[in-house]
A and B are shown apart, each in its own frame.
Chain A
Amino acid sequence: MTATATPRVPVSRDPRVSPLSRLTASPVLRLVVKRLLMAIPIMLGVTVLTFWVLSLIPGNAAQQLLGPEATPEDIALLEQQLGLDKPGVVRYFDWLQGAVTGDLGNSLVSRQPVSEILSARLPVTAELVFLAFVVSLVLAVPVALLAAHKPGGVMDRISMMISTLGLSVANYVLALLLVLVFAVSLGWLPAIGYTPLEDGLWANLRGMILPSAAIGFPLFCYYTRFLRGDLVDQMQQEEYVTTARAKGVGSWAVLIKHAFRNSSFGLITIVGLNLGALIGGTVIIEQIFALPGIGQMLLQAINTRDFVVVQAAVVIFALVAVVANLVVDLLYAVLDPRIRYGSR
């Protein structure tokens, strides 16, 4: 503030705005930057934990590579080549040094650069997660609306039955059932394997239907039940619903135009929180359906004690969780006019 000759006019400045927000003009940008900065300690914590847990498991990559017949001399030699003879702390910081400069290192087992492995496997998992996510959500909304329109009605009972079933069956059991019915008995869809997108969309999708259904169906059940419950609460307890009805708005329009909008905040929270479970579910499902994704890679890497690859997978999962939560918070602001970031 430079002194001026003009009469002192109080600077019209919102006292609630902190100096930081004056630097970054947009409050949304500020939120994004803040969250991404917060991701740093999260990543450090997650990788340290993973590293530590892996070191507790007996055996290391050298032993796994050479097999049970190997002599201690051979193992010691390979350990030296792989750098496994160094203390754990040193190895962690070696890895960290590479990771922050963008070098995720090479797989201890295949000697392939981790970045190459990831670029091959990430699209598979991403497609699986995306399909499961979109299908579960897109189906859950209309089913929940149908159920909530008449609580206790036929649609409500049917959806309740289906969703209770879906919630009580583990996704790997469901996966095996799906394979049994649609691949073995009916022969409509392949039981295992992955066809790249380059070989045709339908060929690719055919292989993805069963795995994404196995992951998506329990989620669909969960979303349906949650949204149905929240909608019924809104319809029965909220005064704005009564106002809408008193205006002469029809029951469907009250449900869709008024209640659903207000229920969507809860749904978004649930969806965001579940994204972790969704990605975690890929580990088993990719194994069952032999899909070459991140989950399968993670499992193999744990078996071979390939800590470099495990770390990469863990970093990716944690990053997705952080970004998902950020997106959820940004969506609140878009949907709920009462939330405006930056005004506190």
Chain B
Amino acid sequence: MSSKRTAAFPAEDATVSEGVIVPETAGRHRPATAASPGEPLLVVEDLRVQFTRGGRKINAVNGLSYELAPGSMLAIIGESGSGKSVSSRALMGLLPPTAKISGSVRFDGRDLLGLSEREMQSLRGGDIAMVFQDPARSLNPTMKIGAQITEAVRLHSDLDKKGAQARAVELLKLVRLPAAERRFHEYPHQLSGGMRQRVMIAIALAGEPRLLIADEATTALDVTTQAQIMELLVELQQRLGMAVIMISHDLGLAASYAQDVVVMYAGRAVEYAPTKVLFANVRMPYTHALLGAIPALDREPHSLFEVTPGQPPDLSALPKGCPFRPRCSNATDQCLEMPPFTEHDPEHWFACWHPVGSGTGKHTANGEQR
């Protein structure tokens, strides 16, 4: 790969100045952070997604709001069915046409929900890219990986076939795929899970996105590979100045990498704060319960995990008031009324009448049961 063309992305050994490298080719010349300082790149307000299945209405997302600053990393945490994946697919316009979406999603000042399919198409893989959970199923099994990356490059640049292929190899090097030139001509089944996820990231980077959504991108990988992929994502985020939304069920992973955390339950945001603020003072009993379920080395051997009784609610028949009420040990009759999602402490949003540490419930700040 000694093309005379300037590399769109620096090869592995390129020096990284100020942590940000500005892409120089591919027709788009723009600073890594396009929005003016202080202005969020993405503002999601009261996002709602409803599916109708067999006559039943399923409320997958019920009023989700958050903001994302350019170049920062936000983690959306929640268990299966909490609406974390659905909400991010709604941003990308990837939900089936039967999904009813309302609320507002402003990306760089544009309302994404009002865009036509054609406008959305040029945005997808361009300014907003996505990496999915299962790299074994997310790549087309019948196409060489090189062709799959080249396709993405050509969709979002004016490069000819040769140039796009050269760029694809550069992208493979950028995501540190060993023997990139050889792998270029291989099929997904010839790669390991970690390598496939690197290819997925290379595809996502093809359009030089300003926002990368990683939907459980490390869940299907073993722990070592998981750490490598996360390190790669963080490094690329800093080098390329992308904002990243990391969707995960792993609170620990979020704590290690993200600047902000949104905790979702039953399609709602229940707690939202900068990571440091959140972990210093968890307020929402659900988040508290999640933390209690994480194994830790300093835990007493053979001690029982704190288990949250019950199951997440049926999204087609949500309980009255706070959706966590039936499982919450702090719940009172007041919880039959939906608690507002407000900024109780500076930068710390949550929706709860009886937060942890307020002294009104059984959960206290240090996790003891009274």
Contact = CB atoms under 8 A, between A and B. Distances in A.
Interface in A247-263: 247-251, 257-258, 261-262
Interface in B176-209: 187, 189, 200, 203-204, 206-207
A258 B138 CA distance: 12
A152 to B, nearest CB: 10
Contact of A240 (B92, B96, B140, B152): B140
Interface in B113-160: 117, 121-126, 129-130, 132-134, 137-144, 151-152, 155-156
A245 B124 contact: yes
B142 A336 contact: yes
A248 B200 CA distance: 14
B94 interface: yes
Nearest to B142: A261
A240 B134 CA distance: 10
Interface residues of A, number: 22
A242 B94 contact: yes
Nearest to A264: B142
B132 A247 contact: no
Contacts, number: 78
A148 to B, nearest CB: 14
Nearest to B92: A246
A281 to B, nearest CB: 32
A16 interface: no
A248 B121 CA distance: 5
Given A243-B132, A246-B92, A248-B207, A258 B125 contact: no
A248 B94 contact: no
B157 to A, nearest CB: 11
Nearest to A338: B189
Contact of B122 (A236, A248, A257): A248
Interface in B228-257: none
A238 interface: yes
Contacts of B140: 240, 243-244, 258, 261-262
Interface string B265-294: 000000000000000000000000000000
A78 B45 CA distance: 96
A246 B94 contact: yes
Interface in A316-344: 335-338
Contacts of A240: 137-141
B142 A247 contact: no
Contacts of B132: 239, 242-243, 246
B141 A247 contact: no
Contacts of A247: 124-125, 129, 151-152, 155, 203, 206-207
Nearest to A235: B96
B142 A243 contact: no
Contacts of B138: 239-240, 242-243
Nearest to B152: A247
A262 B124 CA distance: 23
Contact of B200 (A238, A243, A249): A243
A338 B140 CA distance: 11
A4 to B, nearest CB: 33
Nearest to B130: A246
A238 B92 CA distance: 17
Interface in A220-250: 236, 238-240, 242-250
Given A243-B200, A243-B203, A337-B187, A248 B125 contact: yes
B245 to A, nearest CB: 13
B249 to A, nearest CB: 18
Contacts of B130: 243, 246
A244 to B, nearest CB: 7
B126 A239 contact: no
A246 B151 CA distance: 12
Contact of A246 (B129, B143, B189): B129
B200 to A, nearest CB: 7
21 contacts: A238-B137, A242-B132, A243-B132, A243-B138, A246-B94, A246-B129, A246-B130, A247-B151, A247-B206, A248-B121, A248-B125, A248-B152, A248-B155, A248-B156, A250-B121, A257-B151, A261-B143, A337-B144, A337-B187, A338-B141, A338-B187
Interface of B: 92, 94, 96, 117, 121-126, 129-130, 132-134, 137-144, 151-152, 155-156, 187, 189, 200, 203-204, 206-207
Given A247-B151, A249-B151, 8 more contacts: A239-B137, A242-B132, A243-B140, A248-B121, A248-B125, A248-B126, A258-B143, A262-B140
Interface of A: 236, 238-240, 242-251, 257-258, 261-262, 335-338
